[in-house]
């Protein structure tokens, strides 16, 4: 098993991440792996070899649906239903179609999709789903008669950029034979003269050869044509002669084709001299063709490639002659003509890797094996190509044809195979220092988009990240990887009873759905969807489920579990993970807090920035009062001389046992507590978590809090995160430590750190709307109590400033408490800092060495300290709304919803008496 680094960064002292320059070069963080997987699942595709889809009238009939996963025909295709490729396709299609996982149900659902007269839009929607992620298609339209398939413009309407043509060589050669030998009206006498009269045959040869040359030249000139395609492997094999056959050698073969045409009306090229001729002529014309520019000057135009079918095919193909190695002599004859060997050469995959490696003009395609061979076979193909072949010579295609499902399955299975390989072999290469993680991302983008864009001279701009529809990492579910993660977690332990799928709402209330483990495993092992329908009211309610006026219970999101967050607990018999909310079509929900943090991390990575976050969990243990006649259900612990960092609390055996249980339980979950100590208030403690990448850090924080609260309850205590449970005791915070990692090639740590935290300070008043999200937060936010004070300021090792600099890029954000949604807080801080780096924000605040509240106005002015933090929820929300840059970074819809919920919550809580409100919050946090 490959292990991902969990420490991520060496520590100078316990609980404090070291400076960024100590980050090991041969490790990969979970965030970096997630970004690689995200790249695999969202990179747009230039599908450089595919065929048109059948039109509406031909979608059912003579073309069996079994061709989706098999090249067999006739009676042989019936056995395809027992192939691994077919069974896998059934599982995947049934998930997409939401039907029973059997072939009969899939066929019935697909026929309904195609033919339902009452739902004309379903067909178009289904095609859009099947072509999702395809930027453009290069269509070989020589497979079928044009009346049976949709045209180029029709296909373009479903992708991002205009589709282009791949010109099939043998098809035009055959059409010219039919046209020139018998004409449009099948002139039998004319054809018979060619067969009987040598002079007529010679004239026919000259006309045909000239017409073929003109057709190829026109195609070279045609901007809609970007390449050529040969199916000589289906005709006489790939053992093409090294030299172009003479006219004398070709004429007898032409005569035989005309003879056959008179009998069966087909002009198929079945003689090696004739096939070799059309291929050589095409290559020669591509090599030598000179075009004109706008000024009519003669220039050499970019050479358009020739695609060759190799390997995998139907029974019409002689497999022994379909090995790409037969093409070596021909390839050597045209070193300046680009050639693409299609279909991974399967089963001759190593041969195409070798050919693309040793010949500068040869490229390897790895299409059609998706979805025609098994999952393991696909992954072997990918690794066999990468064993030898430079990835700049590799392209990917769907080989989609006839049915839109061929595109859908090819894309889904390709992304899954790339992901599995990246999580195993590529990750292993990264850890061994053979390839950087960023290079792995480039590899994916090159294979799926950039290599084809360059080879076919398409001139497409690689979409900017914000232009690509950001899909969840769960958008293309990977059951095999998820199943592996689950089995690794269980590792022969007792089977759990439940799986928790968790989320944190706008009031920072942890919510979840519980799925029986056996039901969960049944769905997972069957490759079925694991997402859960949740009402859209989920992001429109406060703690008691009251809805804000602008929200309603109509509509539904899908909650997608993220297996990277999988943990034991938080209670015995449970395992749990966090989820992200998606729309029904898979697009991210703009209101989802966890999706926002994922997006924030990705934006940072695009700027060359990585991060570690480490959280401190301050918590208060209280005695439970069982007397229903009293209002206050919780009272302070009875301890002797409790104070900050004293050891006396260990004298209480119940507290000692609880803290010990917390650390040991978390340790069993691979959450290794760094420190635990007493805080100032009676029964108050602090537990310090290790640093993780941002999403993992927040997931771990929320999971740890649940574990601790449950253990406290089992021990007879109440654990609370209330910021100010007792007016005269020290408040409770949730400080966040942050380090910036050197993900960019050139990383000026000092400069980046300065701009980053300048950006945070610039937007700190708006950030407070998330970090101090409740009226109770402002009861704690006072000067002189080590709470970060009330001023927008920073200071080295100064606990009275909102930002405390510790060392290098490691700083602490102090103005956070346990009533804040940590996804929102982390996102707001990251986005503000990233924008600061992007705009090179000036650090106008100087290092404050003492409590800003104790400085004179002049002293604060000299240090650049001019603003106070908000003093209420109302003021903080107003600061957020007025910070147009922050609103733009977070998203207008999200900010509008957050403000509406917080105003509604603040009004609701404001109607309570102080004691009732305090108890109400302590019951929930």
* Per-residue pLDDT tens over the stretch 426-450: 666 665 667 767 788 889 999 999 9
Confidence of residue 136 (pLDDT cuts 50, 70, 90): very high
Q: Give the H or E element holding residue 49.
A: strand 45-50
- 345 versus 62: which is more confidently predicted? 345
pTM of the complete model:
0.67
Query: How many other CB atoms are found less than 10 A from the CB of residue 855?
Result: 18
CA distances from 838 to 234, 645, 834 (A): 56, 41, 6
Full DSSP string of 688-755? EPPPB-HHHHHHHHHHHHHHHHHHHHHTTEEEE--S-SSTTS------EEEEEEE-SSS--HHHHHHH
Flag whether pLDDT at 294 surpasses 70: no
Mean pLDDT (whole number) for 621-638: 76
Any idea what the Cα angle at residue 605 is, between residues 604 and 607, rounded to 5°?
Answer: 65
Measured between alpha carbons, how far is 342 from 274 in angstroms, rounded to an integer?
22
Query: How many other CB atoms are found less than 10 A from the CB of residue 361?
Result: 18
Mean pLDDT (whole number) for 525-530: 74
Buried-state track 305-344, b at ≥16 Cβ within 10 A, e below 16: bbbbbbbbbeeebeeeebbbebbbebbebbeebbbbbbbb
Which residues have a Cβ under 8 Å from the Cβ of 626 and sit 6 or more positions away? none
Confidence of residue 698 (pLDDT cuts 50, 70, 90): very high
Flag whether pLDDT at 468 surpasses 60: no
Note whether 879 and 870 are within 8 A (CB): yes
Flag whether pLDDT at 135 surpasses 70: yes
Residue 120 has a pLDDT of 58
Measured between alpha carbons, how far is 619 from 722 in angstroms, rounded to an integer?
8
Flag whether pLDDT at 501 surpasses 90: yes
Strands 134-140, 290-292: pairing is: unpaired
The tokens of 205 are what? 């040869």
The tokens of 818 are what? 């346990």
- 882 versus 198: which is more confidently predicted? 882
Confidence of residue 298 (pLDDT cuts 50, 70, 90): low
Strands 736-742, 609-624: pairing is: antiparallel
Is the previous residue joined to 570 through a cis bond, with omega within 30 degrees of 0? yes
Residue 8 has a pLDDT of 31
> Which domains does the chain possess?
474-596 (3.10.20.70)
The tokens of 443 are what? 């590899």
Flag whether pLDDT at 191 surpasses 80: no
- 789 versus 631: which is more confidently predicted? 789
Mean pLDDT (whole number) for 752-780: 93
Measured between alpha carbons, how far is 18 from 16 in angstroms, rounded to an integer?
6
């Amino acid at each position: 098993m490959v292990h991902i680094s969990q420490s991520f960064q060496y520590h100078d002292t316990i609980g404090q991440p070291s400076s960024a320059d100590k980050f090991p070069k041969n490790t990969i963080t979970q965030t970096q792996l997630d970004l690689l997987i995200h790249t695999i699942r969202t990179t747009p595709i230039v599908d450089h070899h595919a065929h048109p889809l059948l039109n509406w009238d031909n979608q059912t009939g003579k073309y069996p649906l079994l061709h989706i996963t098999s090249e067999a025909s006739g009676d042989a295709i019936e056995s395809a239903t027992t192939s691994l490729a077919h069974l896998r396709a059934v599982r995947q299609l049934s998930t997409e179609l939401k039907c029973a996982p059997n072939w009969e149900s899939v066929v019935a659902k697909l026929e309904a999709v195609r033919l339902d007269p009452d739902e004309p839009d379903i067909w178009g929607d289904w095609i859009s789903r099947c072509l999702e992620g395809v930027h453009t298609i290069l269509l070989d339209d020589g497979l079928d008669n044009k009346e049976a398939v949709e045209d180029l413009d029709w296909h373009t309407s479903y992708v991002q950029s205009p589709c282009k043509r791949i010109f099939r060589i043998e098809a035009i050669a055959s059409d010219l034979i039919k046209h020139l030998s018998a004409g449009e009206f099948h002139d039998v006498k004319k054809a018979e003269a060619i067969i009987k009269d040598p002079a007529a045959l010679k004239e026919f040869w000259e006309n045909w050869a000239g017409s073929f040359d003109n057709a190829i030249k026109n195609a070279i000139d045609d901007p809609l044509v970007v390449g050529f395609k040969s199916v000589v492997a289906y005709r006489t094999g790939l053992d093409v002669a090294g030299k172009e056959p003479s006219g004398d050698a070709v004429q007898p073969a032409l005569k035989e084709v005309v003879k056959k045409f008179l009998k069966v009306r087909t002009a198929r090229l079945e003689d090696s001299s004739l096939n070799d001729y059309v291929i050589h002529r095409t290559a020669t014309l591509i090599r030598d063709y000179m075009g004109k520019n706008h000024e009519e000057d003669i220039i050499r135009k970019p050479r358009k490639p020739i695609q060759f079918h190799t390997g995998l095919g139907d029974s019409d193909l002689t497999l022994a002659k379909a090995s790409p190695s037969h093409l070596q002599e021909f390839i050597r004859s045209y070193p300046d003509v680009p050639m693409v060997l299609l279909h991974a050469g399967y089963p001759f995959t190593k041969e195409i890797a070798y050919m693309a490696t040793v010949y500068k003009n040869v490229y390897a395609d790895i299409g059609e094996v998706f979805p025609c061979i098994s999952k393991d076979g696909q992954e072997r193909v990918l690794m066999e190509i990468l064993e030898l072949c430079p990835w700049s010579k590799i392209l990917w295609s769907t080989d989609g044809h006839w049915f839109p499902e061929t595109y859908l399955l090819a894309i889904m299975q390709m992304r899954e195979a790339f992901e599995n390989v990246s999580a195993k072999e590529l990750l292993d290469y990264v850890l061994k220092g053979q390839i950087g993680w960023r290079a792995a991302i480039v590899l994916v983008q090159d294979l799926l988009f950039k290599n084809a864009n360059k080879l076919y001279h398409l001139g497409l701009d690689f979409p900017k990240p914000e232009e690509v529809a950001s899909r969840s990492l769960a958008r293309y579910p990977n059951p095999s990887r998820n199943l592996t993660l689950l089995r690794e977690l269980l590792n022969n332990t007792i089977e759990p009873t439940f799986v928790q799928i968790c989320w944190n709402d706008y009031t920072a209330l942890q919510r979840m759905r519980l799925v029986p483990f056996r039901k969960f495993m049944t769905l997972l092992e069957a490759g079925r969807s694991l997402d859960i329908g949740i009402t859209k009211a989920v992001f429109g309610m406060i703690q008691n489920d009251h809805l804000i006026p602008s929200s309603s219970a109509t509509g539904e999101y899908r909650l997608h579990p993220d297996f990277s967050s999988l943990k034991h607990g938080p209670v015995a018999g449970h395992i749990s993970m966090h989820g992200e909310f998606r729309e029904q079509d898979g697009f991210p929900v703009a209101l989802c807090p966890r999706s926002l943090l994922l997006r924030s991390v990705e934006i940072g990575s695009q700027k060359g920035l990585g991060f570690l976050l480490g959280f401190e969990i301050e918590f208060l243990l209280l005695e439970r009062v069982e007397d229903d006649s009293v209002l206050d259900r919780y009272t302070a612990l009875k301890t002797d001389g409790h104070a900050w960092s004293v050891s006396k609390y260990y004298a209480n055996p119940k507290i000692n046992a609880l803290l010990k249980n917390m650390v040991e339980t978390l340790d069993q979950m691979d959450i290794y507590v760094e420190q635990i100590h007493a805080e100032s208030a009676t029964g108050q403690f602090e537990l310090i978590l290790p640093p993780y990448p941002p999403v993992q850090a927040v997931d771990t924080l929320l999971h740890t809090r649940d574990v601790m609260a449950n253990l406290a309850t089992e021990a007879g205590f109440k654990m609370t995160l209330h910021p100010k449970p007792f007016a005269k005791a020290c408040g409770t915070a949730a400080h966040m430590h942050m380090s910036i990692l050197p993900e960019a090639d050139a990383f000026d740590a000092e400069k980046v750190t300065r701009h980053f935290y300048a950006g945070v300070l610039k937007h700190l008043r708006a950030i407070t709307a998330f970090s101090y999200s409740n009226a109770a937060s402002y009861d704690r936010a006072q000067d002189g109590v080590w709470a970060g004070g009330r001023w927008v300021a920073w200071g080295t090792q100064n606990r009275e400033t909102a930002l405390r600099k510790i060392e290098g890029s490691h700083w602490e954000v102090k103005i956070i408490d346990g009533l804040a949604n940590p996804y929102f807080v982390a996102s707001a801080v990251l986005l503000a800092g990233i924008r600061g780096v992007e705009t090179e924000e000036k650090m106008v605040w100087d290092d404050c060495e003492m409590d800003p509240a104790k400085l004179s106005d002049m002293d604060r002015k000299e240090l650049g300290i001019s603003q106070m933090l908000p003093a209420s929820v109302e003021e903080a929300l107003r600061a957020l709304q007025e910070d147009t840059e922050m609103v733009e970074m977070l998203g207008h819809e999200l900010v509008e919803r957050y403000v509406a919920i917080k105003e509604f919550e603040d009004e609701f809580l404001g109607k309570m008496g102080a004691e009732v409100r305090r108890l109400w919050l302590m019951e929930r946090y």
